[in-house]
């Protein structure tokens, strides 16, 4: 009898198979339980080591002993002629078969059952009202005619949204990692020319919400949804992803990846390529190479960037909390140290020195140093931009904060010609340079790919006001309110639109009903427009004080102009004129005021030189006529 036959006779082979299958199931259960209990990955590795050490011991034990109906017996004492030994063998075969079936079911469940909170099988949660904005509405519509609510068209067949991957671990840091992984996959897909991908702001509205996939797809107007989950333990991560067709909930593709953190970034490109293949889009090798080259490949860089971005938006929501903004800049710096070609981190970090350049308090040397840091960050953002569209938008910021505006019109035209979903920075001042119509077109394109971002409606309304179409502007504001009720930006713009329409009493009533920090600003504007200048002037000091060190001078200039204090407006404009970045702030004041020339150009020679270089018109259009301002400027 051969050695292998002897192993089979003594049931060593069957025992080994049973041990391996049982050990694998034990590891799966331990992986789940340890993750739920928040135990470190070293505990799971300890279980694996113990199981591996136990295998040779079990094999040696089964060589010497065997379980029989009479109990544990030494192999040499067993009478093989008795039928009980065959019964034991059949029971062992049955146990192995049952465990194999359980193992197969576990694998199938792990790969096919969605782990994330948003799934096609979940019952609908809170209803989401899809936006009624018409992204394809004619930008050349008749002035003064409000847009009608259109029938929402069927989503393009090659449209999809990438939902934030669910964090399946308790560690808060893993939340940032999951968000970063989701965002990178979204960015990869957005760079594929034949695909339309919903922007991050709208997709991430569904983070942590249990909603039916069809409901999500309807709100985002997409045909497909990519969702997934991330479980991170120590230096390993499990990423599950699935592409779902919204019309019927059919899974076009799904996969589970078990990788080390060093290898997890290959998962990003693999998922993106698998999605394009499932949708029938072919990428050439050049596109694949660019996708791999521009991706973030460091886990900690992911985490620092996501933490910084959350802090960045919190700072701006709190009317520029400079301490918080400084902390976010420090986190962006850490991300850049780990990922030196992180273009988005450079661009976001540039915001902090930009504030130092034009706020009250810094010395001339501190302003100059901030200007140098700002210029360096923008230069690196342009150098490492992940696509031409993002590069064009960043070039606008560079041109507007440079000492020469000759290149500004060309840069704006290039940026506004792009139809991508990349978010811009200072491209919003395009109306001052005679490009309100082009920016309106881009705002509407942004609404199409980022429909749940209130700021796109704010931008569309601002441009409509500049084009003297206040009724349409109010319509855009109301659609923005459907997404962000009572947002201070939208509340202020609604009051301006009513003033521009000549509905002054309604403007004042609307302003007084505001419950956000824009209340006093809106009431002062409505009062000044109605001719109650004293009421408006009595509020100015409080408005300016609430603005903090960054907004103090900006609000001083804006409201001094509105209430007819031309001297203060000119003095403040002259102060800005001498600062790095000051001319850009002056153009922003002109755009926000919508009141023509809020200061005398003779008081701002540097700004006058810049607008001459750019070929911008002066005075700008007067959409809103404030009586006190008109009299202060020598009018009737």
Q: Could you tell me which residue, 239 or 63, shows the higher pLDDT?
A: 239
CA angle 314-319-323, nearest 5°? 65
Using pLDDT thresholds of 50, 70 and 90, give the confidence band for residue 433.
very high
- pLDDT at position 277 is 81
Using pLDDT thresholds of 50, 70 and 90, give the confidence band for residue 303.
confident
pLDDT for 560 beyond 60: yes
Min mean pLDDT across 25-39, 45-59, 263-277 is at 25-39
Q: Could you tell me which residue, 459 or 63, shows the higher pLDDT?
A: 459
The CA distance from 362 to 351, in Å, is 16
Beta bridge partners of residue 161, listed in sequence order: 225
Residue with tokens 């809020």: 598
Beta bridge partners of residue 595, listed in sequence order: 622
User: Average of pLDDT values for 258-277?
Assistant: 81
Identity of the highest mean pLDDT range in 125-139, 277-291, 355-369: 355-369
Question: Residue 369 phi/psi, 5° resolution?
Answer: -65, -40
Q: Could you tell me which residue, 46 or 148, shows the higher pLDDT?
A: 46
This model's pTM is above 0.85: no
How distant, in Å, are the alpha carbons of 354, 364, 616 from that of 610? 19, 21, 9
- pLDDT at position 477 is 96
pLDDT for 492 beyond 70: yes
Provide the token pair at 315.
């700072």
Beta bridge partners of residue 514, listed in sequence order: none
Using pLDDT thresholds of 50, 70 and 90, give the confidence band for residue 7.
low
- pLDDT at position 77 is 59
pLDDT tens for 271-285 read 888 888 887 766 666
Pair 577, 384: CB distance under 8 Å: no
Pair 595, 567: CB distance under 8 Å: no
From-to residues of CATH 3.40.50.10070 in the chain: 159-300
Tell the CATH superfamily of the 159-300 domain.
Answer: TolB, N-terminal domain (3.40.50.10070)
CA end-to-end span of the chain: 118
Q: Could you tell me which residue, 34 or 456, shows the higher pLDDT?
A: 456
Going by C-alpha positions, the residue among 451, 443, 452, 446 that lies closest to residue 473 is 443
- pLDDT at position 114 is 44
* DSSP calls for 247-316: TTTEEEEEEEEEEETTTHHHHHHHHHHHHHHHTT----HHHHHHHHHHS---HHHHHHHHHHHHHHHHHH
Pair 625, 525: CB distance under 8 Å: no
- pLDDT at position 82 is 55
pLDDT tens for 61-94 read 766 666 665 555 666 556 555 555 555 555 556 6
Using pLDDT thresholds of 50, 70 and 90, give the confidence band for residue 120.
very low
595 DSSP assignment? B
Provide the token pair at 554.
């900006």
């Amino acid at each position: 009898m051969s050695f292998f036959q002897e192993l089979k006779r003594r049931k060593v082979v069957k025992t080994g198979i049973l041990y391996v299958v049982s050990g694998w199931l034990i590891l799966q259960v331990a992986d789940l339980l340890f993750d739920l209990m928040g135990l470190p990955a070293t505990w799971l590795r300890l279980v694996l080591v113990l199981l591996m050490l136990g295998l040779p011991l079990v094999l040696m034990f089964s060589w010497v002993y065997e379980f029989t109906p009479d109990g544990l017996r030494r192999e040499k004492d067993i009478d093989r002629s008795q039928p009980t030994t065959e019964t034991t063998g059949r029971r062992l075969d049955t146990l192995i078969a049952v465990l194999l079936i359980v193992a197969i079911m576990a694998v199938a469940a792990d790969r096919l059952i969605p782990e994330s909170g948003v799934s096609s099988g979940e019952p609908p949660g809170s209803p989401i009202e899809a936006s009624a904005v018409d992204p394809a509405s004619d930008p050349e519509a008749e002035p003064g005619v409000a847009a009608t609510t259109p029938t929402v068209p069927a989503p393009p067949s090659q449209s999809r949204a990438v939902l934030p991957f669910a964090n399946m671990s308790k560690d808060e840091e893993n939340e940032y990692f999951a968000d970063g992984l989701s965002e990178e996959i979204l960015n990869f897909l957005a760079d594929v020319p034949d695909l339309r991908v919903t922007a991050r702001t709208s997709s991430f509205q569904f983070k942590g919400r249990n909603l039916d996939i069809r409901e999500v797809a309807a709100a985002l107007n997409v045909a497909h949804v990519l969702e997934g989950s991330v479980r991170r333990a120590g230096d390993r991560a499990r990423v599950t992803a699935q592409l779902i067709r919204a019309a019927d909930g059919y899974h076009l593709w799904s996969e589970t990846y078990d990788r080390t953190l060093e290898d997890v970034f290959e998962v990003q490109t693999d998922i993106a390529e698998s999605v394009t293949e499932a949708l029938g889009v072919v990428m050439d090798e050049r596109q694949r190479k660019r996708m791999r080259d521009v991706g973030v490949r460091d886990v900690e860089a992911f985490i620092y960037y996501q933490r910084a971005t959350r802090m960045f938006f919190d700072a701006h929501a709190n009317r520029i909390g400079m301490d918080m903004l400084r902390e976010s800049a420090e986190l962006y710096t850490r991300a850049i140290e780990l990922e030196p070609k992180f273009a988005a981190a450079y661009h976001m970090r540039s915001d902090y020195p930009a504030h130092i350049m034009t706020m009250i308090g810094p010395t001339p040397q501190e302003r100059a140093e901030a200007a140098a840091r700002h210029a360096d960050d923008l230069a690196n953002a342009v150098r490492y931009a992940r696509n031409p569209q993002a590069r064009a938008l960043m070039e606008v910021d560079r041109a507007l904060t440079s000492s020469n505006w000759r290149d500004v019109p060309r840069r704006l035209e290039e940026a506004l010609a792009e139809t991508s979903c990349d978010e811009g920075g200072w491209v919003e001042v395009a109306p001052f340079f005679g490009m309100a119509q082009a920016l309106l077109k881009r705002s509407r394109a942004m609404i199409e790919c980022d429909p749940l971002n209130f700021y796109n409606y704010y931008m569309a309304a601002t441009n409509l006001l500049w084009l003297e179409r206040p009724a349409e502007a109010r319509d855009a504001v109301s659609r923005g309110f459907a997404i962000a009720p009572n947002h201070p930006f939208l509340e202020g713009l609604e009051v301006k639109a009513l003033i521009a329409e000549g509905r002054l009493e309604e403007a004042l009533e609307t302003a007084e009903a505001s419950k956000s920090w824009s209340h006093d600003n809106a009431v002062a504007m409505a009062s000044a427009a109605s001719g109650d200048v004293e009421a408006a002037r009595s509020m100015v000091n409080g408005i300016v004080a609430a603005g903090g060190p960054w907004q103090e001078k900006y609000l001083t200039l804006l409201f001094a102009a509105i209430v007819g204090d031309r001297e203060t407006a000119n003095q403040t404009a002259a102060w800005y004129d001498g600062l790095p970045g000051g001319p850009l702030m002056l153009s922003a004041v002109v755009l926000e005021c919508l009141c023509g020339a809020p200061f005398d150009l003779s008081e701002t020679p540097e700004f006058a030189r810049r607008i001459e270089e750019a070929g911008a018109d002066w005075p700008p259009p007067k959409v809103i006529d404030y009586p006190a301002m008109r009299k202060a400027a020598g009018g009737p």
